[in-house]
């Protein structure tokens, strides 16, 4: 059965924070919906899998949060952010794009914090943040209790960050790595699960330090 997406549906998606919509051949956009997508700057990415846009009726409550990723960047990472969002949508993820939305100079802490907060309050399963090197965004994100941000620059660091550290935020450097490296990092990140075991004991110690230093109400 074909699913019809109206202008009203598009507005609801936008209000939920989603900026990239994966869809299948089973989805039909009305002309007014297409116009609204262009007006709001939402991107759409075609997928072969069926039934990936079902949460459209109530994005905040019904969406599988494991398929939601928050993404943000400063001005230096703007172009790479759009590239990363495209990769994520190709893998069936809904994207919450917190900005920035152009290449005008801005401050990385604002966007790093916005991404990390989405992960902390569980509106997104993971976060991706991009600046010049990835380091300042990782430093910022790691100020929030429960955030484990890792600056990755190859497949090995991405695999280790997920498998050993259960990292929930990935930071990337737009001036230190290229698009194909970013693709390999993201795809490695997505397919790697936390190994648990001895690694959980170490994460528990980190969590204990967080609670001692930051307290339970850190935002």
- Cα separation, 37 vs 76, whole angstroms: 25
Please state, in angstroms and rounded to a whole number, the distance separating the CA atoms of residues 67 and 95.
Answer: 9
Residues 20, 97 contacting (CB under 8 angstroms) = yes
User: Of these residues, 8, 75, 91, 164, which one is catalytic?
Assistant: 164
Ramachandran category for residue 122: left, alpha or beta (phi over 0 → left; psi -120 to 50 → alpha): left
Known catalytic residue at 60: no
Half-sphere exposure at residue 46, Cβ-oriented, CA atoms within 13 angstroms: 6
Q: What is residue 46's three-state secondary structure?
A: strand
Phi, psi of 95 (to 5 degrees): -110, 130
The catalytic residues are: 164
């Amino acid at each position: 059965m074909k699913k019809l997406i109206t202008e009203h549906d598009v507005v609801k998606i936008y209000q939920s924070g989603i900026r990239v919509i994966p869809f299948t051949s089973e989805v039909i956009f009305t002309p007014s919906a297409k116009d609204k997508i262009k007006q709001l700057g939402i991107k759409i990415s075609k997928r072969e899998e069926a039934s990936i846009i079902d949460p459209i009726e109530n994005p905040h409550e019904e969406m599988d949060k494991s398929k939601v990723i928050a993404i943000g960047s400063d001005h230096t990472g703007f172009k790479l952010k759009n590239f990363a969002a495209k990769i994520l949508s190709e893998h069936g993820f809904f994207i919450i794009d917190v900005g920035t939305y152009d290449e005008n100079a801005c401050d990385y802490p604002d966007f790093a914090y916005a991404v990390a907060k989405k992960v902390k309050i569980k509106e997104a399963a993971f976060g991706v943040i991009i600046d010049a090197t990835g380091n300042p965004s990782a430093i910022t994100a790691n100020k929030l209790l429960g955030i484990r941000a890792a600056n990755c620059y190859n497949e090995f660091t991405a695999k280790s960050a997920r498998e050993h550290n259960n990292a929930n935020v990935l930071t990337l450097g737009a001036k230190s790595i290229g698009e194909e490296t970013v693709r390999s990092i993201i795809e490695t990140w997505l397919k790697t699960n936390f190994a648990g075991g001895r690694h959980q004991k170490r994460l528990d110690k980190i969590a204990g330090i967080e609670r001692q230093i930051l307290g339970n109400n850190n935002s």
